[in-house]
Amino acid sequence: MYHFTALVTCLAILFYLFTGIQVSKARAAFGIKVPATAGHPDFERVFRVQMNTLEWMPIFLPSLWLFAIYISDPFAAVLGLIWIAGRVLYLTGYSQAAAKRGTGFAIQALAATILWAGALGAIVWRLLHQ
Amino acid sequence: MYHFTALVTCLAILFYLFTGIQVSKARAAFGIKVPATAGHPDFERVFRVQMNTLEWMPIFLPSLWLFAIYISDPFAAVLGLIWIAGRVLYLTGYSQAAAKRGTGFAIQALAATILWAGALGAIVWRLLHQ
Amino acid sequence: MYHFTALVTCLAILFYLFTGIQVSKARAAFGIKVPATAGHPDFERVFRVQMNTLEWMPIFLPSLWLFAIYISDPFAAVLGLIWIAGRVLYLTGYSQAAAKRGTGFAIQALAATILWAGALGAIVWRLLHQ
């Protein structure tokens, strides 16, 4: 079983839900009524945080689980926690200014890339040595 | 095996595909040509139904499967069917008016939250009692 | 184990990441600054390629894996490669003109539909014969 990876998956979903709640609050704060998704730069940056997190979910979650299955449950979970930490930094930075989103983005991109590359390497190794 | 959860996964994908087909129809009906995703409120609401369903897929699907694996396949499937029913209500309501999207949204959010919280609780319990 | 399907999953993620990198390049080329996602038709088409690929990930990935588990790992992988090939055609076509996106879209939609329908059929068969 992959209890640590399952736990980190729940935490990643919780963070992602939080980015959506921030969008609802920003709608109220800046008077952007649904179905509009634009109209005020401060709202649009909060909206982009949610959208960018959504964009990375299909990269992060499958890579996390393939890494857990092919390499290690606890190592996958640690990299998953680093991904979430990078995402939190990205959220706090981007909410302030577009220029402050770089560090958090780089951390989460690195964590996701390690998960993806590790999984890919282990899968190829298994295919060659089975 | 998790036959019921697998079946509900296929049904959720079918519903989600349907929201995308509605967007294509709304493009034709309101003359919104690709790549534009705005230009008429009636189109934008149909587009937001698809987008919001997409936004919830990475919450719903992993929570559904973790619940199935850690708790119960048939219970997960029943909650999954409730999620789809809430989504259908959300689609029919939001397509008419933005104010009519609340009930369906609340139902699907509740179903997804139960799946998520149930999975999280079961994972933590296993980690503490393994 | 499902080594071939796992490998194709990594390749699909790689392609999807590439569509995101193309958006970054198009931002620079057409001067579309974050958080904006509109402003120049050539940028918007590249952005829509990424978004449309994102939209199909929750259809493709679960269908791919259910097909692999319920029917066949190598057959799922072959259909997954056809999906990626259709996506590449869609990217190159849509980047040139909106009218050139049809063939690639149809190929990937067909591959995803076969994965989905095959999985659904096999799941129902198992439920009836278990």
Residue by residue, DSSP assigns C9-78 as HHHHHHHHHHHHHHHHHHHHHHT--TT---S-HHHHHHHHHHHHHHHHHHHHHHHHHHHHHHT-HHHHHH
Query: Across chain A, what does the average pLDDT equal?
Result: 96
pLDDT per residue as tens digits for the range C72-127: 999 999 999 999 999 999 999 998 999 999 999 999 999 999 999 999 999 999 99
User: In what helix (H) or strand (E) does residue B81 lie, and over which residues does it extend?
Assistant: helix B73-96
Confirm whether pTM is higher than 0.90: yes
| Higher pLDDT among residues A37 and A126, named by residue | A126
The answer to whether the Cβ–Cβ distance between C130 and B61 falls below 8 Å is no
pLDDT mean over B13-30: 96
Report the pLDDT value the prediction gives residue A34, as an integer from 0 to 100. 85
Q: Is residue B127 within 8 angstroms of chain A, CB to CB?
A: yes
Q: How many Å apart are CA B92 and CA B49, to the nearest integer?
A: 9
Q: How many Å apart are CA C55 and CA B16, to the nearest integer?
A: 9
pLDDT per residue as tens digits for the range B44-100: 999 999 999 999 999 999 999 999 999 999 999 999 999 999 999 999 999 899 999
What percent of chain B is modeled with pLDDT above 70?
100
Q: Report whether A47 contacts A37 (CB < 8 A).
A: yes
Of B69, B17, B22, B16, nearest in space to B47 by CA: B22
Interface test with A, best of C1, C5, C9 (most A CBs within 10 A): C9
Nearest to C62 among B9, B34, B36 (CB): B9
pLDDT mean over A72-94: 97
Q: Is residue B16 within 8 angstroms of chain A, CB to CB?
A: no
Chains in contact with chain C (at least 3 beta-carbon pairs closer than 8 A): A, B
| DSSP letters for B86-118 | HHHHHHHHHHH-GGGGHHHHHHHHHHHHHHHHH
The answer to whether the Cβ–Cβ distance between B120 and A7 falls below 8 Å is yes
Nearest to A35 among B45, B58, B69 (CB): B45
- Looking at residue C98, the DSSP 8-state letter turns out to be G
Q: Is residue C129 within 8 angstroms of chain A, CB to CB?
A: no
Nearest to B55 among A34, A35, A54 (CB): A54
pLDDT per residue as tens digits for the range C42-68: 999 999 999 999 999 999 999 999 999
Report the pLDDT value the prediction gives residue A122, as an integer from 0 to 100. 98
Of C92, C94, C100, nearest in space to C44 by CA: C94
The answer to whether the Cβ–Cβ distance between C44 and B35 falls below 8 Å is yes
Nearest to C55 among B1, B10, B20 (CB): B20
Q: Is residue B59 within 8 angstroms of chain A, CB to CB?
A: yes
Which C residues in the span 96-115 are in contact with B, Cβ-Cβ below 8 Å?
98, 101
Report the pLDDT value the prediction gives residue C44, as an integer from 0 to 100. 93
Chain B residues touching C121 at Cβ < 8 A = none
What percent of chain C is modeled with pLDDT above 70?
100
pLDDT mean over B95-122: 96
Report the pLDDT value the prediction gives residue C34, as an integer from 0 to 100. 85
User: In what helix (H) or strand (E) does residue B32 lie, and over which residues does it extend?
Assistant: none
Of A65, A60, A61, nearest in space to A3 by CA: A65
**A35 pLDDT higher than 90:** no
**B35 pLDDT higher than 90:** no
| DSSP letters for A10-79 | HHHHHHHHHHHHHHHHHHHHHT--TT---S-HHHHHHHHHHHHHHHHHHHHHHHHHHHHHHT-HHHHHHH
Query: Across chain B, what does the average pLDDT equal?
Result: 96
| Residue B10 identity | C
Which C residues in the span 32-51 are in contact with A, Cβ-Cβ below 8 Å?
33-38, 50
Distance from CA of C19 to the nearest CA of A (A): 11
Nearest to C127 among B3, B36, B37 (CB): B3
The answer to whether the Cβ–Cβ distance between C116 and B61 falls below 8 Å is no
Nearest to B13 among C38, C54, C62 (CB): C62
Output the six-digit token pair for B35.
């790549």
Q: How many Å apart are CA A124 and CA A95, to the nearest integer?
A: 40
pLDDT per residue as tens digits for the range A55-67: 999 999 999 999 9
Report the pLDDT value the prediction gives residue C23, as an integer from 0 to 100. 95
Chain B residues touching A48 at Cβ < 8 A = none
Output the six-digit token pair for C57.
């990930």
**A47 pLDDT higher than 90:** yes
